[in-house]
């Protein structure tokens, strides 16, 4: 009898564990939405008449298919690695003809290389998906999903989703500092321009919340003056370009302050700041510690630091991408992206504020048990 009771107790425990595990898995199976620029674009610009494309070799040289996909990387980019970390398949570009049916339920990537917070950023790239259009596509996405699973389930899917948005760098590199005496630099002194961009960014984030997103990772800019393109154009001694560094140092703290203010206004931790500038500075200042032989010269390119022009089939291409912090003149290598995503997942409050992604996932899983 005692043995029977013991077996029953064990069976009951196993049943409870199985039920709880299924709840946790269900909580973890969440849609993922991506907005922003070339750091997170996974192929939308392939479908557009624009020069801001990464759809030809040697892009994608280390991707599983060894083919260019539209990602500005030798392999995986930041959204890919986040999807892998949360156990989900990579989201498709919203413009992809393959994003139909049940694949819509995984989420979508709306990002477009060249865009910024401001609609006049990246005008030289002509036909890109500006952030206002990305948000309109997100509204369209919700209608498409609603036609499949109904409005209530669509709202639940969006409310429980994870979102990543990466904007801001182009507002400096491809706007304010694009040419000497640019229109924006004549209109604003740099500190005033930063305040203006942040105020416009706040409107973007508030709109995402209005549309139902409740967990949004917001990355700041990287160390703008340290990328190979800026070293090639603005540096005489290999040191980071001071004006662009000043822009990043003004922008990122104000972005975090704005995020804190929005969360306070909402009364919940909707927006989470990811300090990719600090993560990048770590491996730029001490590349050897992270296994890189250089954090100044790009793997793919030409000219000083391989920072001039585009990465093409005619460019210099390093044989081992894992020992280069930068893949091309502007974008991190896949290995550098992995370091960035590791800090997003488990970094301290120096890198993730107010909490990292692992903490978010654990809290959300517990809330759904």
* Residues recognised as catalytic: 38, 328, 331
What count of residues does the chain have? Answer: 369
Task: State the alpha helices, DSSP H only, in the chain.
Answer: 2-28, 78-85, 131-149, 151-159, 169-171, 183-187, 190-210, 228-234, 242-266, 276-285, 334-346, 357-367
d(CA 147, CA 141) in angstroms, rounded, equals 10
For residue 32, the surrounding DSSP H or E stretch is strand 32-36
d(CA 198, CA 298) in angstroms, rounded, equals 30
Looking only at the bridges linking them, the beta strands covering 316-317 and 300-301 are: antiparallel
Tell me the helix, strand and coil percentages in the chain, rounded to 5: 50, 10, 40
Tokens of residue 276, six digits: 């990719």
Query: How large is the C-alpha radius of gyration of the chain?
Result: 22
DSSP category for residue 172: I
């Amino acid at each position: 009898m005692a043995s029977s009771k013991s077996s029953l107790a064990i069976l009951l425990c196993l049943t409870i564990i199985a039920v709880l595990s299924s709840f946790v898995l269900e909580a973890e199976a969440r849609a993922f939405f991506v907005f922003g620029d070339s750091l997170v674009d996974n192929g939308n610009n392939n479908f557009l008449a624009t020069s801001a494309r990464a759809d030809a070799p040697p892009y994608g040289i280390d991707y599983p298919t060894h083919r260019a996909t539209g990602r500005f990387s030798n392999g995986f980019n930041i959204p890919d690695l986040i999807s892998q970390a949360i156990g989900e398949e990579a989201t498709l570009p919203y413009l992809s003809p393959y994003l139909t049916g049940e694949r819509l339920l995984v989420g979508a990537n709306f990002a477009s290389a060249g865009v910024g917070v401001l609609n006049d950023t990246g005008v030289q790239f002509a036909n890109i998906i500006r952030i206002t259009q990305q948000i309109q596509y997100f509204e369209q996405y919700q209608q498409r999903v609603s036609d499949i699973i109904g409005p209530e389930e669509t709202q639940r899917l969006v409310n429980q989703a994870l979102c990543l948005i990466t904007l801001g760098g182009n507002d400096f590199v491809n706007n304010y500092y694009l040419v000497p005496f640019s229109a924006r630099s004549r209109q604003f002194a740099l500190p005033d321009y930063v305040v203006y961009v942040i105020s416009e960014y706040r409107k973007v984030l508030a709109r995402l919340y209005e549309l139902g997103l409740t967990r949004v990772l917001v990355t700041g800019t990287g160390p703008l003056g340290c990328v190979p393109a800026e070293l090639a154009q603005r540096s005489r001694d290999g040191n980071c370009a001071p004006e662009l560094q000043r822009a990043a140092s003004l922008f990122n703290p104000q972005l975090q302050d704005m995020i804190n203010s929005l969360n306070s206004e909402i009364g919940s931790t909707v927006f989470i700041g990811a300090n990719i500038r600090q993560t990048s500075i770590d491996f730029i200042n001490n590349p050897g510690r992270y296994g890189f032989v250089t954090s100044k010269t790009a793997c793919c390119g030409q000219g000083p630091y391989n920072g001039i022009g585009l990465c093409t089939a005619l460019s210099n291409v390093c044989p081992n991408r894992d020992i280069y912090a930068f893949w091309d003149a502007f974008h991190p290598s896949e290995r550098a992206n992995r370091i960035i995503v590791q800090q997003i997942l488990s970094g301290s409050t120096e890198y993730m504020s107010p909490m990292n992604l692992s903490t978010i996932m654990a809290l959300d899983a517990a809330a759904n048990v």
